[in-house]
Amino acid sequence: MKTLSKFFAFALISWTVASCGNAPEETVETKEAEEVAAPQETAATYAMVTDGDEIMWEGYKTISGDSHTGTMQVTEGSFTVENGEVTGGSFTIDMNSIYNEDLPEEGDYNKAKLVGHLKSEDFFYVEKYPTATFTITSVSPVEGKEGATHMVSGNLNMRGNEKNITFPAKIDVSGDKVSLTTPEFVIDRTNWEVMYLSANLASVAKDKAVDNNIKLQLNVEAQKA
């Protein structure tokens, strides 16, 4: 879980100051939210171990070449498992847990200033939307994908907008434990109407634009309930 939050917290903070040179080239598949199937009665439930930073993030500024990294935390969640395979699950992300790892505590531009801006209405509007959720809609085995055993699809609800995303993950079900880790993947923040200084806006000069991409990485664990 600690590694996951370090990655998922993604990517959210690094947004505001990263550059085109470091920005990832491809985003994950994003589409309209999908229906979530009810778990089978025979499915076992594994409760997530929320002991730290489960999500890591990195963000970019389009021109400057700067980037920022940080973390966010998962507060609760679970997986459902049938015949040794993860078939569903969901988790809640505490948007107030957004944390920056690379800036100093003091100075003209510091951790508090960046985090405060990310929590504001310009970005994630945490006062109105204090949590985000991810709910699995499908899990399928995959071969030949580096660092992954499965493709996971799910509805990401963030800032009052819900979209379905698909990303690669390494899933291991062993005894009473489940682990899900991901290689780095990228989402486009504008799909959730986070539009601050987006190059998509005609009013934003190219040299002022903040990249739409956020790089994320997850590392979560769960134990059989």
Domain around 153: 2-224
pLDDT the model gives residue 26: 65
Q: Supply the pLDDT for residue 222.
A: 97
pLDDT value, residue 197: 87
The pLDDT, as a whole number, for residue 81 is 97
Residue 64 has a pLDDT of: 57
At 168 the pLDDT is 96
**20-70 confidence digits (pLDDT tens):** 344 444 689 999 999 999 999 999 999 999 987 689 999 876 655 578 899
Given a cut of 70, the residues of the chain with pLDDT beneath it are 1-26, 53, 61-65
For the chain, how far is it from start to end, CA to CA, in angstroms? Answer: 17
CATH code, domain carrying 32? 2.40.128.110
pLDDT for the residue 62? 60
Q: Give me the residue label for tokens 């985000």.
A: 132
pLDDT score recorded for residue 207: 74
Give the number of other Cβ atoms within 10 Å of residue 109's Cβ: 12
C-beta atoms surrounding 83 within 10 Å:
10
* Bridge-based pairing state of the strands 53-61 and 185-188: unpaired
Q: How far apart are CA 217 and CA 202, in angstroms?
A: 31
The number of domains in the chain is 1
